Amino acid sequence: MADDGEKPKSKRLFINHVDCYEGRNIAKFLSSCVVGASLEEMEEEEEDARSVDSATLARPKEGCYEIIGTLKNKEAKKPDFVKEIIYYETKEQLYEHLVECDIIVYDITEDPDQIDEATWAVSEIHSDLEKIDKQILFLLISTVMTWARSKPLDPDDPEIPFTEDDYRRRKPHPNFKEHISAEKTVIKLGKTNKQKLVTYVVASGLTYGGGENIFHYLFKAAWHNASQLQCFGPGGNVVPTIHIKDLAGVIQNVVDSRPKVRYIVAVDDSQTTLEEIVKAVSINLGTGKIKHISKEEALLSKDIEQADFDMLLVNLRMDAVYVKENMRIRWVAETGLMENVIPVIKEYKESRGLMPMRACVLGPPASGKTTIVKELCDSYKLHHIKIKDVIEEAMDALTKSAARANQEPEGEEEDDGKAQEDQELLDAINEGKEQNNGRIEDQYVIKFFKQKLHSMPCQNQGFILDGFPKTREQATELFAAEDEEEAEEESKGSFDKAIMPEVVVCLDATDEFLRARVMNLPESVVAGTHNTEEGLMRRLTEYRAINGEDETVLNYFDELEIHPDKIDVTKDSSKMMADTVEKVKKMMGPPRNYGPTAEELAEMRQKEEEAHIKREAEEKAEKERKEAEEAAERKRRQDEWAERLDQVKREEYDMLETQSQPLRNYLMKHVMPTLTQALIDCVKVRPDDAIDYMAEYLFQHNPQVD
């Protein structure tokens, strides 16, 4: 650290592949760490201020590590917390950037291709030490898989954990021999000139947190409500793990303190098995059920690779003695994944943008609530919560559970007690229905809704309430907070934030419009439903009665500052109320899920191709039609032109004939008789010069009278 009164000086720290899971999370963590901060004693204020979320500050403090990195995907965008991205064509270009850094961190746990690059980098620096005028720290992030086949320290007690002191006895998994070779090279080259090059190897446990990596297949399957989570093999193998931010904390301590120990094990205090991890994720994010599958079945999955499979099946007990005794780490999950599964799941959802979407669509009967909610649920992949479905599902579950009460007890006493409780509840519901004209009392409907909205599927993806709650009393009871931790305090009261809708939409329409809409429905649609004219009028009367101007369910949301949006559906003439659906989508915002699956993307591409082919065929047909029309028009015009040309010629001929008639008459009357006689006389006389004779004759016999 700098002396008192001096500002800490930043250092350039290189990390490879800052667009990948480990590189991104470690770089983000270190970019907010002041150089040398881990050497200072933690004060209570600092410890409180530096929580899990604030470990990745968006606004770096002065004197923090300046992150220089490379990208695995060259087209990826530069992360905000990275100062500079190195783009290079040759290793020589990369080397020039590396020697400018004070600290070089290479992670070889994710991309096997980085093993050769890391080994080359440390070897190049080592061979060039004479030209380097500063000390460079080279840190290799490796994996505990280089210990996977190590023999127990005591054959009689195989549960004794390995520590850093045993690193010379480690034996790697057959598929991780290149990793241990890189570790040995890094340690060896750091021993020759410690004034210029100091090297460390951090053997990391399987990382979790920050959006997940190797355990992502578990979290993803649980979030998608898979009926059972897969556990590879028997599941009794102990898996060494560490939270990605705790691993980053270990690296921070190493680069700050530069300890004498060159090989450091980075794992948390847990000694949990794979089965325990799978169960913890399943219980807190999924159905609570797991399924053991064989290696062959596992490798058929597209979500797991061979290297990940090997790591998940490792059976290794390790103890990070040096980290616990000599480092100051603000642990995020010191006790492991299983003990911290709730905050880890929250972090997973936040990191991947998988927070549930909750909405409520209200309005008078026949206003199109179900049509709109169905379209929204299909688009956002949310759960459609209809009163009828919720009641039927809950009653079926109660009936099945109550049936066990009358059977021979096979399971645990706890299950039998639950069956008896469900039988009593079912009896109470049926008794209430008899006294209430077959309708289930509100208290039970509210109970069913609470159970449904708190179910894992609704808490994972989210839901849209279709026409419920109908009254202010129902809303107050439904969203009332049962647990203080889940309550959101407001000036007007408290509510259960886990199920409270973020968007409330109220459809509005006149009674005349709704009546006309129902009257225009096909008979096949109306038959057997309450969408008859009589049924509509009864339901409309009930709706208007409980939704007066002064007291309505919307007032409840208004008082909690969740202001409902009203939409006039009488102005929507689009098919399947598409215009109203688009309005609600703008209110809800973009989806919060994984997006389309590979199958859905393939289907979308196929539809786009089919639409493109159809569009091209239509355009071709249209072009051919236009060309045919143009050819026909051209021929018609040519024929018309030819006809007009003939007509003009005839008219000209007639005109010339008409104009020549006077001259012809004149010639016939005055010229031709004399000329004829002249020719006859010329023939008779046969003069030597016929022309002269004719001229003289005509001159003498000119019929013109002066």
Report the pLDDT value the prediction gives residue 578, as an integer from 0 to 100.
92
- pLDDT band of 85, cuts 50, 70, 90: very high
503-562 pLDDT, tens digit each? 999 999 999 998 888 887 776 555 656 667 777 888 888 888 888 777 889 999 999 999
d(C-alpha 663, C-alpha 643), whole Å: 31
Report the pLDDT value the prediction gives residue 9, as an integer from 0 to 100.
81
Q: Which of 371, 370, 361 is nearest to 574 (CA)?
A: 371
| φ, ψ (nearest 5 deg) of residue 461 | -85, -40
**Average pLDDT of the residues of the chain:** 87
In the predicted structure, residue 262 carries a pLDDT above the cut 90: yes
**β 487-490/493-496 pair status:** antiparallel
443-466 pLDDT, tens digit each? 999 999 999 999 999 999 999 999
DSSP H or E stretch at residue 202: strand 197-204
Task: Supply the DSSP symbol for 273.
Answer: B
Residue type, 637: R
Average pLDDT over residues 60-73: 87
339 to each of 183, 272, 279, 315, how far by Cα in Å? Answer: 31, 10, 12, 20
For residues 166 and 173, the answer to whether their CB atoms sit within 8 Å is no
Q: Is 242 helix (H, G, I), strand (E, B) or coil?
A: strand
Report the pLDDT value the prediction gives residue 600, as an integer from 0 to 100.
75
For residues 98 and 14, the answer to whether their CB atoms sit within 8 Å is yes
- pLDDT band of 416, cuts 50, 70, 90: low
Question: Is there a common fold for 12-214+240-269+317-332 and 357-588?
Answer: yes
Q: Among 46-60, 293-307, 396-410, which range has the highest average pLDDT?
A: 293-307
Q: Which residues of 178-215 are buried (b: 16+ CB within 10 A; e: fewer)?
A: ebbebbebbbebbeeeeebbbbbbbbbbbbbbbbbbbb
d(C-alpha 29, C-alpha 36), whole Å: 14
Q: What is the dihedral of CA 213, 219, 221, 223, to 10 degrees?
A: -130
Report the pLDDT value the prediction gives residue 412, as an integer from 0 to 100.
45
In the predicted structure, residue 53 carries a pLDDT above the cut 60: no
Q: Which of 274, 279, 264 is nearest to 314 (CA)?
A: 274
In the predicted structure, residue 631 carries a pLDDT above the cut 70: yes
In the predicted structure, residue 690 carries a pLDDT above the cut 50: yes
Q: In the chain, where are the structural domains located?
A: 12-214+240-269+317-332, 357-588, 598-700
In the predicted structure, residue 411 carries a pLDDT above the cut 70: no
For residues 10 and 32, the answer to whether their CB atoms sit within 8 Å is no
> How many CB atoms sit inside 10 A of residue 243's CB?
26
Average pLDDT over residues 131-147: 93
For residues 506 and 521, the answer to whether their CB atoms sit within 8 Å is no
For residues 108 and 201, the answer to whether their CB atoms sit within 8 Å is no
Average pLDDT over residues 364-387: 94
In the predicted structure, residue 576 carries a pLDDT above the cut 90: no
User: Which residues have CB under 8 Å from 377's CB, separation 6+?
Assistant: 383, 384, 464
Residue 211, token pair as written in the block: 């959006």
Task: Supply the DSSP symbol for 434.
Answer: H
Out of 250-254, 408-412, 614-618, which region has the weakest mean confidence (pLDDT)? 408-412
DSSP H or E stretch at residue 391: helix 387-403
In the predicted structure, residue 471 carries a pLDDT above the cut 60: yes
In the predicted structure, residue 54 carries a pLDDT above the cut 50: no
| CATH of the domain spanning 12-214+240-269+317-332 | 3.40.50.720
Q: How far is CA 227 from the centre of its chain?
A: 22
For residues 15 and 105, the answer to whether their CB atoms sit within 8 Å is yes
- pLDDT band of 701, cuts 50, 70, 90: confident
- pLDDT band of 155, cuts 50, 70, 90: confident
In the predicted structure, residue 404 carries a pLDDT above the cut 80: no
Out of 17-26, 407-416, 518-527, 625-634, which region has the weakest mean confidence (pLDDT)? 407-416
Measured in Å, how far apart are the chain's first and last C-alpha atoms? 142
162 to each of 141, 142, 203, 308, 426, how far by Cα in Å? Answer: 18, 16, 12, 22, 57
> How many CB atoms sit inside 10 A of residue 668's CB?
10
d(C-alpha 74, C-alpha 633), whole Å: 57
Could you write out the three-class secondary structure of 642-706?
Answer: HHHHHHHHHHHHHHHHHHHHHHHHHHHHHHHHHHHHHHHHHHHHCCCCHHHHHHHHHHHCCCCCC
Could you write out the three-class secondary structure of 102-156?
Answer: CEEEEECCCCCHHHHHHHHHHHHHHHCHHHCCCCEEEEEEEEHHHHCCCCCCCCC
Sign of CA dihedral 262, 266, 269, 270: negative
Average pLDDT over residues 61-73: 89
Average pLDDT over residues 685-693: 90
The burial class, CB within 10 Å (0-12 / 13-18 / 19+), for 691 is exposed
- pLDDT band of 390, cuts 50, 70, 90: very high
Q: Over pLDDT 90: what percentage of the chain? A: 63
Residue 375, token pair as written in the block: 């379209």
Q: If you search the block for the tokens 């010191």, which residue do you land on?
A: 334
The Cα angle at residue 57 between residues 54 and 60, in degrees rounded to 5: 145
Q: Among 207-211, 492-496, 668-672, 700-704, which range has the highest average pLDDT?
A: 207-211
| φ, ψ (nearest 5 deg) of residue 389 | -65, -40
d(C-alpha 33, C-alpha 48), whole Å: 16
The burial class, CB within 10 Å (0-12 / 13-18 / 19+), for 458 is buried
Number of continuous H segments (helices) and E segments (strands) in the chain = 26, 18
Return the CATH fold of 357-588: Rossmann fold (3.40.50)
Report the pLDDT value the prediction gives residue 133, as an integer from 0 to 100.
87
In the predicted structure, residue 577 carries a pLDDT above the cut 50: yes
